Copies of this chain bind each other. A is one copy, B any other.
């Protein structure tokens, strides 16, 4: 039999109410009693029953993270940071993978919002409307997306793109291709906005290679388009895409970085292991997860402005970028 609050109460001759309050650290119970109760609880190995607690408080003991793909190391890092922070707060972390499928995401959201009252959504695919609906029922924090009225944590997309392009321009590139992510991606739209905001000197231009799935397969298509467009450098929406670009360029005999420079985004762990190591924008993924969880744990007072956190990113120059040929 597992020890309940009643056992603790009996053990130190007080009522269960006192035990509850003592363990909660309420100052209303005398310091001596509090200590005595703590002692007894520790000795008996008492663990409060979460279900019972949740039933009465209404507040859940877990925070859920919904992400499109655990195999993508961007998201697994976010998950790592998130669960670390959540666990440190004595709560439990739930994680759901939607397999990049918007329908699956809907379903997961329905299911999860009934179980959990605090949700972190990484790169949600659902509509703004569904999102605000959801926020009625749960506390929600968005990752990689911003929406007025909702808390969010994102990397500084525009600045990351600016760093990439500036780097390439400095190397002497004049025609740079942008291999975009899915058109539904909020991050992609921000990165495009960043591109548009850049004041390019005369004779230098950014070529839009199109929108691609953020996968290696997408990168293959992008690489061919880059060659056809005659650019000397490609800025990819993210590292996954860049990986595909790199692979395809190798296949087609285009030397990187001699004939073509490639820059990614995210700095997934593999990026530095590739041949050549990938120049890419480092995003503090673990910190994103931690901050998102933090927002839900240190529950802000109701009417305070919802935090929209933007974390700074930093270009990691490696060997996949170099001056253009000639």
A contacts, CB < 8 Å to B: 47, 49-52, 54-55, 60-62, 64, 69-71, 73, 76-77, 79-80, 83-84, 87, 90, 92-97, 99, 108, 111-112, 114-116, 216, 243, 247, 250, 269-270, 273-275
Residues of chain B within 8 A of A96, CB atoms compared: 83, 87, 92-93
CB-contact partner of A97 in B64, B83, B90, under 8 A: B83
Bound complex: CA of A114 vs CA of B61, how far in Å?
Answer: 12
Interface of A is mostly: helix
Contact at B93–A61, with CB atoms within 8 Å?
A: no
**Once the chains are docked, how many angstroms separate the CA of A288 from the CA of B84?**
24
| Distance in angstroms between the alpha carbons of A55 and B49 in the assembled complex | 8
Assembly CA distance A83 to B76 (angstroms): 13
The quantity of this chain's copies bound in the complex is 2
Closest approach, in angstroms, between the C-beta of A223 and any C-beta of chain B?
14
Which residue on chain B has the smallest CB distance to residue A216?
B273
Nearest first, the 10 A-B pairs at minimum CB distance are A275-B275, A47-B114, A51-B54, A76-B76, A70-B80, A51-B55, A51-B51, A270-B270, A70-B76, A95-B95
How long is the Cα–Cα vector from A73 to B273 in the complex, in angstroms? Answer: 15
- Cβ B84 vs Cβ A97 within 8 A: yes
For the complex, give the distance between the alpha carbons of A115 and B215 in Å.
37
**How many angstroms from the CA of A70 to the CA of B69 in the assembled complex?**
12
User: Could you list 7 further interchain pairs (A-B, Cβ under 8 angstroms) beyond the known A69-B80, A94-B94?
Assistant: A50-B51, A50-B115, A51-B60, A62-B92, A71-B73, A87-B108, A94-B95
Which of A90, A95, A112, A247 lies at the interface centre, i.e. has the most chain B CB atoms within 10 A of its CB?
A95
Complexed CA–CA distance, A90 and B270 (Å) = 34
Give the docked Cα–Cα distance between A96 and B51 (Å).
Answer: 20
